[in-house]
Structure 1
Amino acid sequence: MLQINDLHCGYGRSTVLHGVSLDVPADGVAAILGHNGAGKSTLLRAAVGLLRPRSGTILLDGEDITRLAPHERVARGMAYVPQGQQSFPHLTAWENLRLVADGRKDGKAATAEALEVFPALRELLGRRAGLLSGGQRQQLALARALITRPRLLLLDEPTEGIQPSVVAEIEQTVLALAGRGGMSVLLVEQHVGFALRAAGRYYVLEAGRVTSAGDGGSGAEAGVRQALTV
């Protein structure tokens, strides 16, 4: 679904990614692991078009999208959920969802489906997003992304800063989304166990370079943890 080939990218004169290559399988999950500052979020921002690569290519389902604007990538089936449970805090949860749904022919049905994935949001639709807990805002951010019916979902640390009781729920949701077919996921995650349970393929980033890669699953956890301590 997504192929990134020899990607070099950065900010100003600083290069953050140095020749990164990875694949996200169709109807599958690829996980990116690494310490803070390794370039994980930069990679997602480049994939969705918020950063222009200095060199390299990005292919979505075989189409070269390297020079496409973010809205053009969204139109082709990409959805991005950045770090930090981002929302419009002065709008209600319902208004946050409508911002995405309005103007879409399937907006009403897609919103209903998203609320089926996150039923706890139904009781919070009239509450301002800024008054929701971190876990509730993350569910809202994921629901907004699902309304676009993405073919490729990019998630940047969806469990970061969330209370433990909700982390498990977020993990189960991501695993369920990844397992129902029709959508690929590129997941940046600090929780190694969760990332490897979800992913069929993993990549470890260190200082903007892929230093380790392999098949996911619980059997890979020891090797990944060792790679992260080197």
Structure 2
Amino acid sequence: MLEIEDVRVGYHRSTVLHGVSVEVPANGVAAVLGHNGAGKSTLLRAAVGLLTPTGGTVRLDGEDITRRRPHERVARGMAYVPQGQQAFPHLTTAENLQLVADGRRRGREAVAEALDLFPALRALSGRRAGLLSGGQRQQLALARALVTEPRILLLDEPTEGIQPSVVAEIEETVLALAARGGLSVLLVEQHVGFAMRAAQRYYVLEAGRVTSSGEGGGDAERSVREALSV
């Protein structure tokens, strides 16, 4: 579904990724793990077009999108949920979702389907997003992305900084999305157990390079923890 091949990218004169290659399987999950500063968020920003690589190629369904702008990638079925539980704080939960749904052929149905995945948001439909808890805002951010009915979803540490009960709900939702098919996921995550339960492939980044990779699943968890402990 998504192929990131030998990508080099950075900020100004500082190179962050040094020839990174990652593949996301069709209807599957690839997890990227690593310590803070390893280049994980930079990789997602390059994949979605917010950063332009100085080398390498990004392909979506075999099409070279390396020079495509972010809105063109979204039109091709890509959705990105960055860190930080982002939402429009002065709009209500319902307005945040409707803003994404407007103009879409299945907008109303897509909102309903997203709320089915995050039923707690229904009771919060009239509350401003700025008054939601961090976990509720993260659920809203995920729901907004799903309203676009993406073919590939890029998630940047969706469980970071939120209460354990909501972490469990988000983990269950991501696992359910992966299991039902029709959607590929590139997951950046610190929780190794969750990432290995969800992913068919994993990649460990260190200082902007892939230092370990392999098949996901519970059997890989020990190898990933050892790679991260180095």
TM-score above 0.5, yes or no: yes
For residue 205 of structure 1, report the CA deviation from its aligned partner: 0.2
The offset of 1:22, in angstroms, is 1.0
| C-alpha distance in structure 2 between counterparts of 1:127 and 1:184, whole Å | 31
Aligned counterpart, 2:162: 162
Q: For 1:104, what is the secondary structure of its paired residue?
A: coil
Which amino acid counterpart does residue 88 of structure 1 have in structure 2? F
Alignment-derived partner of residue 114 in structure 2: 114
State the shift of 1:170 in Å. 0.6
Query: Which runs of 5 or more structure 2 residues have no equivalent in the other structure?
Result: none
Structure 1, residues 18-57: CA drift from partner, whole Å, max 9, x if none? 0000100000000000000000000000000000000100
> Partners in 1 of 2:108 and 2:166 — Cα distance?
27
- Partner of 2:48 in structure 1? 48
Tell me how far apart the structure 2 counterparts of residues 204 and 195 of structure 1 sit (CA, whole Å). Answer: 11
Partner of 1:16: 16
The residue identity in structure 2 corresponding to 1:81 is: V
Q: Tell me by how many angstroms 1:190 deviates.
A: 0.1
Alpha-carbon distance between aligned partners in 2 of 1:4 and 1:105, rounded to the nearest angstrom: 31
C-alpha displacement of 1:103? 1.1
In structure 1, C-alpha distance between the alignment counterparts of 2:16 and 2:108, rounded to whole Å: 40
Which residue identity lines up with residue 65 of structure 1 in the other structure? Answer: I
TM superposition shift of 1:98 = 1.0
Residue in structure 2 matched with residue 195 of structure 1 by the alignment: 195
Which structure 1 residue ranges, 5 or more long, are not aligned?
none
Counterpart-to-counterpart distance in 2, 1:54 and 1:176: 36
**What is the deviation of 1:214?**
0.4
Matches within 5 A, 1:29-108: 29-108=29-108
Q: Does 1:180 align with 2:180?
A: yes
* Secondary structure, counterpart of 1:137 in structure 2: helix
> CA offsets per residue over residues 94-152 of structure 1, 9 Å max, x none?
11111100111111111111111111100001000010011110110000000010000
Instruction: Provide the C-alpha distance between the structure 1 equivalents of 2:130 and 2:65, rounded to a whole number of angstroms.
Output: 34
State the Cα distance separating 1:165 from its structure 2 match: 1.0
Residue 164 of structure 2 aligns with an amino acid whose one-letter code is P
Partners of 2:110 and 2:203 in 1: CA distance: 32
Structure-1 residue corresponding to 2:225: 225
Between the aligned residues of both structures, percent identity stands at: 80
**RMSD of equivalent CA atoms:** 0.5
Alpha-carbon distance between aligned partners in 2 of 1:22 and 1:142, rounded to the nearest angstrom: 23
Q: Which amino acid aligns with 2:113?
A: E
Aligned residues: 230
Counterpart residue type for residue 181 of structure 2: G
Residue in 1 that maps onto 2:125: 125
TM-score, normalised via structure 2 length: 0.99
Letter in 1 for 2:86: Q
- Give how far 1:207 is off: 0.3
Moved over 2 A (4+): none
Q: Deviations over 1:49-103 (max 9, x none)?
A: 0000001000001000000000000000000000010001111011111110011
The one-letter amino acid of 1:172's match is E
Query: What's the secondary structure of 2:105's corresponding residue?
Result: coil
- Separation in 2, partners of 1:4, 1:164: 32
